[in-house]
Amino acid sequence: MRQKIPLASMQAKLLRSAKKVMGNAYAPYSKFRVGAAVLLSNGKIFTGCNVENASYGMTNCAERTAIFSAVAQLGPKIEVRAVSVVNDHGVPCSPCGACRQVIYEFGPDATVFFQGAKGPKQAHITELLPEGFRLQ
């Protein structure tokens, strides 16, 4: 069986990737830029930023942009191992409920790195989303 990549060794790289892509955010309404980097089990990293819309509800969060981009590039069999989320206000920002469900879909064992109320935090996706919904 293939060894899992040690997360600690990837954390700094994920954070750098998330910060870099945050600069591409389209956030004219909230002025709150978010970047996300997703580490897959195959070691690849995909990134995404928030993309807002004048019809506010159409906004896509950074986390979902990153995961959807990974699926678009590699197909449906991706496994999300970790997600790093950053924002340009340096404020606490854990993934929203919708993004938690999407992370869980592709990463039921994923670790999420984000800014918590007392500084940087990491949590298992099932801590953030207990009883996540699955069809299979």
| Nearer Cβ to ligand THU (18/78) | 18
131 in active site = no
How far, in Å, CA of 128 to CA of 18, rounded? 20
Residues 73 and 49: beta-carbon distance below 8 Å: no
What residue ranges bind ligand THU (CB under 6 A)? 27, 30, 32, 34, 50, 52, 59, 61-63, 85, 93, 95-96, 99
Q: From the CB of 36, what's the least distance to ligand THU, in Å?
A: 7
Q: From the CB of 87, what's the least distance to ligand THU, in Å?
A: 7
| Nearer Cβ to ligand THU (42/53) | 53
| Nearer Cβ to ligand THU (40/102) | 102
Of 63, 79, 127, 131, which residue is the catalytic one?
63
What end-to-end distance do the CA atoms of the chain give, in Å? 23
Q: From the CB of 37, what's the least distance to ligand THU, in Å?
A: 13
For 15, list phi and psi in degrees, rounded to 5: -60, -45
| Nearer Cβ to ligand THU (1/91) | 91
Q: From the CB of 74, what's the least distance to ligand THU, in Å?
A: 22
How far, in Å, CA of 105 to CA of 89, rounded? 28
Tokens representing 79?
């496994």
Tokens representing 54?
């004048």
Closest CA to 113 of 29, 4, 25, 19: 19
**Active site (catalytic) residues:** 63
